[in-house]
Structure 1
Amino acid sequence: MGHGGDVIAELTADHEEVEQLFAKIQGLPSGDPRRKNLADQVTMELVRHSVAEESYLYPAVREHMPNGDALADKELQDHAEAERTMKELESCAADDPQFDELMMRLMNEIRSHVADEENNLFPRFREACPADMMNELGDKVRKAKKMAPTRPHPSAPDTPPANKILAPGMGLVDRMRDAMTGRGKD
């Protein structure tokens, strides 16, 4: 969850971690209950990652990049679609007929989003921002992920200041629920 480095290194490491979880899911047979546990882990990582991006990366994109508002809005739209899919997936057991369909949809949404960020947004953002700002954003993203929710909340605000105010409280409740249920544990 916290990898170190500047904001792009941190977020790219998150992308790699999620892709490894996707590979584990794909390596298990359909209906295997371990797939649900892995899907919960994916959701937890993606929600924390998304909240951190929405709180710090996208506001910086808006401020420092040409056409930053449009770029950030597109990324937020990608997050909203994936969050709706994760919300649907949350209530499915591994042997539910919809589980595989929803999991494939989520993988496609996330892989497309990651490719767009890593091939387009991140290189342009690195050019637009000084190294000290990139490092500072990396620290802020790591801190945000520690406090962020672990469950999808599609109706929650996704832009500052409301997301920065509400996310820690939702995160606390989510982590308590996860601890009580054992959600996301190996």
Structure 2
Amino acid sequence: MGHGGDVIEELTTDHREVEEIFEQIAVLPSGHKDRKRLMDHLTIELVRHSVAEEQYLYPMVRERLPQGGVLADKEIGDHSKVEQMLKKLEGCSADDPQLDQLIMDLKDAVTSHVEDEENNLFPQLRRACSPEELTKLGNKIRMAKKTAPTRPHPSAPATPPVNKLLAPGLGLVDRARDYVTGRGKS
């Protein structure tokens, strides 16, 4: 899938990619060796997406939308739950007996979050911001994903300015670990 466009197009593309990874996982039998590789890929995509949203999307939501603080806090809370699930999954092997249930729980949480963003948050944001602002925000999101962590860090701050300061460092460490271990390579 191609990335680009405004923030809503960028994040919606991410959502479709994550759904596709969940579908790829679902067709593999329990214990299949490729499930771990796909779970690593899913984790990388979800963490990068969440970090970028927390750095740039939710501050804009707070600033521009009525009840924006409440909406942003809810979405960040969703991210926190997902990140905790990802941390549990990180320690599972492909044949771990609890893996299937954890994947199902994660899929339910992610699907609920995606539906809320696409049906509630994104339409409000499109009405509240100019096309130019949304395009600028899309560019910031794409840049943030390039330096974002690739592993869950549930105790890391999720709001600016601290998250903007820590995320690139955590991302650098995560990418170094990924390089050494081969994680995230197809």
Same-fold call, TM cutoff 0.5: yes
Hey, what does 1:121 align to over in structure 2? 121
Alpha-carbon RMSD: 1.0
Whether 1:67 aligns to 2:70 is: no
In structure 1, give the amino acid aligned to 2:51. V
- Report how far residue 2 of structure 1 moved: 7.2
Matched, 1:110 2:113: no
Query: 1:166 and 2:166 equivalent?
Result: yes
- Give 1:79's aligned residue: 79
Which residue number corresponds to residue 3 of structure 1? 3
Structure 2: which 5+ runs fail to align?
none
Alignment of 1:1-186 (within 5 A): 3-186=3-186
Q: Structure 2 CA distance, aligned partners of 1:101 and 1:180?
A: 30
Is the Cα–Cα contact under 8 Å of residues 32 and 94 in structure 1 kept in the other structure? yes
Q: How far, CA to CA, are the matches of 1:174 and 1:21 in structure 2?
A: 21
Counterpart residue identity of residue 52, structure 1: A
Distance (whole Å) between structure 2 residues aligned to residue 21 and residue 28 of structure 1: 11
Give deviations 1:132-170, integer Å, cap 9, x for gaps: 110000000000000000000000000000000000000
> What TM-score, normalized to structure 1?
0.98
SS at match of 2:110: helix
State how far apart, in whole Å, the 1-side matches of 2:2 and 2:88 are.
27
One-letter amino acid of the structure 1 residue matched with residue 55 of structure 2: S
Instruction: Give me the identity figure in percent.
Output: 64
Taking structure 2 as the reference length, what is the TM-score of the superposition? 0.98
CA–CA distance in structure 2, aligned partners of residues 119 and 94 of structure 1: 34
CA contact (8 A) 1:2 1:142 kept: no
Task: Work out the CA distance in 1 between the residues paired with 2:136 and 2:68.
Answer: 19
CA distance in 1, matches of 2:103, 2:161: 31
Q: Secondary structure of the residue that 1:47 maps to in structure 2?
A: helix
CA distance, structure 1, for counterparts of residue 2 and residue 175 of structure 2: 17
Distance verdict in 2 for CA 1:161–1:2, change over 3 Å: farther
SS at match of 1:94: coil
Kindly provide the amino acid, as one letter, of the partner of residue 60 in structure 2: A
- How many Å separate the matches in 1 of 2:117 and 2:124? 10
